[in-house]
């Protein structure tokens, strides 16, 4: 029996519960993120006693796929958490940060008195995150792991971020494939997703199930922005997700500098999380990881760039008085928090500067308001006028509609596709396309819906 308990008809909180004769598994253990109504869903009682779950299987380390783990541990789960080595490495970076955000939110509620709980408690703490990290059990790509006596699990490349996989669960008489988040064949550092092969049941994400990514001229856009900054002493502030997006932005910059299309100006990576992820991407490239494109194996990433990583708070603050031209790449990607907030507060008032938005901006975030042309923005308690240029660039690490359909087309004789991890419109559009273009029955499950996996 398979139950869709998270990410059904929405893009975060990915969780699927699998009951088989020998036990109970959870595939992905994601946190709901975004609007407050969604975040409150993290406080709902878990549909089964977490202590009855024998194991968790993770597709990748993004918080909407693993960020509920510390909560699950707090509620009594203490089984193994199986994932790729890359996912384990990135979860060790991301989960403690997520715990700090939860603790900060509770502390803020206590200061301002807005919580219904007295006193406000965090969803989980740094200690819960540490306990969750202790449960991680890395398995190499392609290796078969008997997670339960009648469930063999293998992880296959998804090309989304380092460590990201789609997982194949071989049950007694059925093979079920969970897409996790599917990447794009065009990722400059990562190899494309593997073909599916044999699968009876596919559970696929549908984040961009109704969208084709435009092919943006990323090099051209970034070149214009950097050349402008170099010409007038401006600062380019790039709010970027700490894992993967930072590397992709640096890859484009490196290529532009190496080819002489832009001058070499200082590039600051100002996010401790991004720096740790950058170290990991560098190490994996040097050692020739099977996830990294072979032409990069054994090489140093971004050799043409003059990168300075500012790890301490003092170094980060010192950037405020530094004069351009320079590029500052800093988290978070939608400017909802992190060090990029003080860079924006400091730089938005100067028309020589540019904000380069390098990815999806959720409605209501500061990034979204900047993209929409806000003339002022509230940051750190005061309104700051926006006089900078704001340039948007779609560097998505999610497969679009055609890419999802192409990937589903690599499955041999699937009987049914369940479409989750997408907003309602995107999920139904993809389900329609799977039926009409791939001739496979496709269903968008209701939140909490259960389906049988055996043929009977
Ligand atoms: Zn993801």
Contact 124, 46 (CB under 8 A): no
Please give the distance, rounded to the nearest whole angstrom, from the Cα atom of residue 161 to the centre of ligand 1: 7
Q: How far from 117 is each of 10, 333, 381, CA to CA, in Å?
A: 27, 30, 25
pLDDT(307) > 50: yes
CATH number at residue 276: 3.40.50.10890
Please give the distance, rounded to the nearest whole angstrom, from the Cα atom of residue 6 to the centre of ligand 1: 14
Please give the distance, rounded to the nearest whole angstrom, from the Cα atom of residue 93 to the centre of ligand 1: 15
Considering the domain architecture, whether residues 341 and 231 belong to the same structural domain is answered as yes
How confident is the model over 230-259, as a mean pLDDT?
96
Contact 393, 221 (CB under 8 A): yes
Please give the distance, rounded to the nearest whole angstrom, from the Cα atom of residue 94 to the centre of ligand 1: 12
Please give the distance, rounded to the nearest whole angstrom, from the Cα atom of residue 229 to the centre of ligand 1: 32
pLDDT at position 215, please? Answer: 76
Residue 181 maps to a domain? yes
Considering the domain architecture, whether residues 176 and 243 belong to the same structural domain is answered as no
Considering the domain architecture, whether residues 149 and 242 belong to the same structural domain is answered as no
Q: How confident is the model at residue 298 (pLDDT cuts 50, 70, 90)?
A: very high
Residue-wise pLDDT tens digits, 347-372: 999 999 999 999 888 778 899 999 99
Q: How confident is the model at residue 337 (pLDDT cuts 50, 70, 90)?
A: confident
Q: How confident is the model at residue 271 (pLDDT cuts 50, 70, 90)?
A: very high
Q: Give the integer Cα–Cα distance in Å for 269 and 272.
A: 9
Residue 373 maps to a domain? yes
H/E segment holding residue 198: strand 197-198
Lowest-pLDDT range of 115-119, 234-238, 386-390: 115-119
Q: Give the integer Cα–Cα distance in Å for 326 and 266.
A: 5
Q: Which residues contact 38 (CB under 8 A, 6 or more apart)?
A: 10, 12, 13, 32
Name the domain boundary from 352, 377, 392: 392
Q: What percent of the chain stands above pLDDT 90?
A: 83
Can you list the alpha helix ranges (DSSP code H) found in 261-349?
Answer: 272-286, 313-318, 340-347
Please give the distance, rounded to the nearest whole angstrom, from the Cα atom of residue 406 to the centre of ligand 1: 19
Task: Supply the pTM of this predicted model.
Answer: 0.94
Which residues span the domain enclosing 64? 2-211+397-451
Residue 325 maps to a domain? yes
Task: Tell me how many domains the chain contains.
Answer: 2
Considering the domain architecture, whether residues 135 and 256 belong to the same structural domain is answered as no
How confident is the model over 89-107, as a mean pLDDT?
93
Residue-wise pLDDT tens digits, 9-50: 887 889 999 999 999 999 999 998 877 778 888 999 999 999
Name the domain boundary from 358, 392, 426: 392
Considering the domain architecture, whether residues 13 and 63 belong to the same structural domain is answered as yes
Please give the distance, rounded to the nearest whole angstrom, from the Cα atom of residue 62 to the centre of ligand 1: 5
Cis, bond preceding 180 (omega within 30 deg of 0): no
Name the domain boundary from 392, 408, 439: 392
pLDDT(103) > 80: yes
CATH number at residue 57: 3.60.15.10
Considering the domain architecture, whether residues 243 and 384 belong to the same structural domain is answered as yes
pLDDT(104) > 90: no
How confident is the model over 387-409, as a mean pLDDT?
94
Contact 163, 140 (CB under 8 A): no
Please give the distance, rounded to the nearest whole angstrom, from the Cα atom of residue 343 to the centre of ligand 1: 26
pLDDT at position 439, please? Answer: 96
Considering the domain architecture, whether residues 226 and 160 belong to the same structural domain is answered as no
Please give the distance, rounded to the nearest whole angstrom, from the Cα atom of residue 83 to the centre of ligand 1: 14
Average pLDDT over all residues of the chain:
94
Question: How are beta strands 326-330 and 267-269 bridged, if at all?
Answer: parallel
Residue 291 maps to a domain? yes
Contact 430, 401 (CB under 8 A): yes
Residue 456 maps to a domain? no
Integer-rounded Cα radius of gyration of the chain:
22
Q: Torsion angle of alpha carbons 9, 435, 211, 254, nearest 10°?
A: 100
Q: How confident is the model at residue 277 (pLDDT cuts 50, 70, 90)?
A: very high
Considering the domain architecture, whether residues 242 and 178 belong to the same structural domain is answered as no
Considering the domain architecture, whether residues 200 and 269 belong to the same structural domain is answered as no
Residue 294 maps to a domain? yes
pLDDT at position 456, please? Answer: 44
Cα 108-109-112 angle, rounded to 5 deg: 85
Q: How confident is the model at residue 216 (pLDDT cuts 50, 70, 90)?
A: confident
Please give the distance, rounded to the nearest whole angstrom, from the Cα atom of residue 65 to the centre of ligand 1: 7
Residue 414 maps to a domain? yes
Considering the domain architecture, whether residues 162 and 271 belong to the same structural domain is answered as no
Considering the domain architecture, whether residues 238 and 379 belong to the same structural domain is answered as yes
Please give the distance, rounded to the nearest whole angstrom, from the Cα atom of residue 268 to the centre of ligand 1: 25
Please give the distance, rounded to the nearest whole angstrom, from the Cα atom of residue 80 to the centre of ligand 1: 21
pLDDT at position 115, please? Answer: 62
pLDDT at position 116, please? Answer: 61
Please give the distance, rounded to the nearest whole angstrom, from the Cα atom of residue 181 to the centre of ligand 1: 5
How confident is the model over 168-172, as a mean pLDDT?
96
Q: How confident is the model at residue 252 (pLDDT cuts 50, 70, 90)?
A: very high
Cis, bond preceding 195 (omega within 30 deg of 0): no
Please give the distance, rounded to the nearest whole angstrom, from the Cα atom of residue 60 to the centre of ligand 1: 7
First to last CA, the chain: 12
pLDDT(99) > 60: yes
Q: How far from 176 is each of 153, 167, 371, 430, 437, CA to CA, in Å?
A: 10, 8, 40, 19, 21
Please give the residue that has the higher pLDDT: either 413 or 9.
413
Please give the distance, rounded to the nearest whole angstrom, from the Cα atom of residue 182 to the centre of ligand 1: 8
Residue with structure tokens 């020739």? 288
Q: How far from 281 is each of 155, 292, 318, CA to CA, in Å?
A: 19, 9, 27
Name the token pair of 10: 């929405």
Most confident by average pLDDT, 164-178, 331-345, 380-394 = 164-178
Considering the domain architecture, whether residues 100 and 131 belong to the same structural domain is answered as yes
Please give the distance, rounded to the nearest whole angstrom, from the Cα atom of residue 190 to the centre of ligand 1: 14
Q: Give the integer Cα–Cα distance in Å for 220 and 25.
A: 47
Contact 226, 262 (CB under 8 A): yes
Residue-wise pLDDT tens digits, 110-134: 887 666 666 789 999 999 999 999 9
Q: Give the integer Cα–Cα distance in Å for 445 and 452.
A: 13
């Amino acid at each position: 029996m398979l139950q869709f308990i998270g990410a059904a008809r929405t893009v975060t909180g990915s969780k699927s519960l699998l009951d088989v004769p020998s036990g109970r598994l959870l595939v992905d253990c994601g946190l709901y993120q975004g609007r407050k109504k969604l975040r409150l869903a993290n406080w709902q009682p878990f549909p089964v006693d977490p202590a009855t779950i024998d194991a968790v299987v993770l597709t990748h380390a993004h918080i909407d796929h693993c960020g509920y783990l510390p909560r699950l541990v707090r509620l009594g789960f203490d089984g193994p958490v199986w994932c790729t080595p890359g996912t384990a490495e990135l979860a060790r970076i991301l989960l403690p940060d997520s715990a700090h955000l939860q603790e900060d939110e509770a502390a803020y509620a206590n200061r301002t008195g807005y919580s219904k709980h007295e006193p406000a408690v965090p969803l989980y703490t740094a200690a819960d995150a540490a306990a969750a990290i202790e449960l991680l059990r890395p398995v190499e790509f392609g290796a078969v792991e008997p997670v339960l006596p009648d469930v063999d699990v293998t992880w296959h490349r998804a090309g989304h971020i380092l460590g990201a996989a789609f997982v194949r669960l071989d049950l007694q008489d059925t093979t079920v494939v969970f897409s996790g988040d599917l990447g794009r064949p065009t990722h400059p550092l990562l190899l494309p997703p593997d073909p599916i092969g044999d699968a009876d049941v596919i559970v696929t994400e549908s984040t961009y199930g109704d969208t084709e990514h435009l092919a943006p001229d990323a090099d051209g856009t970034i070149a214009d922005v950097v050349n402008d900054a170099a010409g007038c002493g401006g600062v380019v502030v790039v709010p970027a997700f700490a894992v993967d997006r930072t590397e992709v932005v640096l890859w484009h910059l490196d290529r532009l500098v190496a080819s002489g299309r832009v001058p070499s100006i200082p590039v600051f990576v100002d996010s401790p999380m991004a720096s740790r992820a950058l170290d990991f991407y560098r190490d994996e490239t040097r050692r020739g990881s099977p996830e990294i494109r072979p032409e990069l194996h054994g090489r140093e990433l971004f050799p043409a760039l003059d990168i300075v990583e500012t790890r301490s708070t003092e170094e980060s603050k010192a950037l405020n008085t530094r004069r351009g031209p320079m590029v500052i790449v800093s988290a978070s990607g939608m400017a909802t928090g992190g060090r990029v907030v003080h860079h924006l507060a400091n730089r938005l008032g100067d028309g020589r500067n540019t904000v380069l938005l390098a990815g999806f901006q959720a409605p209501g975030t500061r990034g979204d308001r900047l993209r929409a042309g806000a003339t002022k923005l509230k940051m750190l308690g005061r309104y700051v006028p926006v006089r900078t240029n704001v340039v948007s660039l779609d560097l998505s690490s999610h497969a679009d509609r055609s890419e999802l359909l192409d990937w589903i087309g690599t499955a041999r004789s699937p009987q049914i596709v369940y479409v989750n991890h997408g907003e309602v419109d995107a999920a139904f559009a993809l389900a329609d396309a799977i039926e009409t273009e791939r001739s496979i029955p496709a269903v968008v499950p209701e939140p909490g819906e259960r389906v049988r996996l055996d043929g009977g």
